[in-house]
Amino acid sequence: MPSAISRWFHRLGSPRWFYHTSRRWLPWLAILTIALLVTGVVWGLGFAPQDARQGNSYRIIFIHVPASVLALVGYYVMAGAGAIALIWRIKMAEMVMISAAPLGAALTFLALLTGAVWAKPTWGTYWVWDARTTSMLILLFLYLGVMALGKSYAAREVAYRACAIVSLVGTVNIPIIYKSVDWWYTLHQPATIKFTSAPSMHPSMLQPLLVTTLGFYCFYALVLMLNTRAEIIGRERRAVWVRELLQ
């Protein structure tokens, strides 16, 4: 069994194997993503009950929360790939790290945008400089910094090493984002879903939220796979198998 697992990871580190194998995964992942997102969003926006205090304005939670969760999880994916690239010098890890940055930046921006839309009817303003919103803004800058570093050096190895270091250093911001509502005064409500206690949402609201969040996870995997495939073609364009593929 260990040898089979090690062989699988060895294959996963091969750009050619990943490119050809992921082609079979993409259609099924796309179907699952669309099904979950459509079901969750329609269920949450159209059929979940109104909130007792916030009315219908709370419904943006079905976009805001999944985007925020994947923005944080995506940073760990990027940083983890950076760590693998630094330690074992695996090309696929470098490509995943670079491919995860724009996707994470887009999700973080979506989280900030939907948070601002939700804040206006709830707090009376689009933005407050509290711990949660400020640390999320820092997360966006970290993603953008990795994207900029990836294009700042002529030597690709140097660029990837710099991106990996920034990614790893930036991980200290993730627990700050998550625990900010507990550590400092903030207008944000505490986490709705916790591993240590029962959810504070009614099941009629929680169920579509979970479906939408699962859909966002599938969406993240789908887009990351597509980005990585594009990065493989760009980096391996001089390889024989890529020239044959393009021809």
- Report yes or no on 177 lying in a domain: yes
- Report yes or no on 160 lying in a domain: yes
CB atoms within 10 A of CB 212: 26
The arithmetic mean of pLDDT across residues 48-62, rounded, is 91
pTM of the model: 0.93
Residue 79, pLDDT > 50, answer yes
Amino acid identity at 54: Q
CB atoms within 10 A of CB 53: 8
pLDDT tens by residue, 115-144: 999 999 988 999 999 899 999 999 999 999
Contact 69, 213 (CB under 8 A): yes
Q: pLDDT at position 1, please?
A: 47
- Report yes or no on 45 lying in a domain: no
Residue 68, pLDDT > 80, answer yes
- Report yes or no on 106 lying in a domain: yes
Number of domains in the chain: 1
Q: pLDDT at position 154, please?
A: 84
Sign of the C-alpha dihedral, residues 13, 10, 16, 237? positive
- Report yes or no on 43 lying in a domain: no
**What value does the mean pLDDT of the chain take?**
91
Q: Which 3 state secondary structure label does DSSP give 103?
A: helix
Residue 197, pLDDT > 80, answer no
Compute the distance between CA of residue 30 and CA of residue 152 in angstroms, rounded to an integer.
33
∠ CA 36-37-39 to the nearest 5 degrees? 65
- Report yes or no on 100 lying in a domain: yes
pLDDT tens by residue, 158-172: 999 999 999 999 999
More confident residue, 157 or 36: 36
- Report yes or no on 242 lying in a domain: yes
pLDDT tens by residue, 14-28: 899 999 999 999 999
The arithmetic mean of pLDDT across residues 3-13, rounded, is 67
Can you give the residue range of the structural domain that contains 230?
63-191+224-246
- Report yes or no on 203 lying in a domain: no
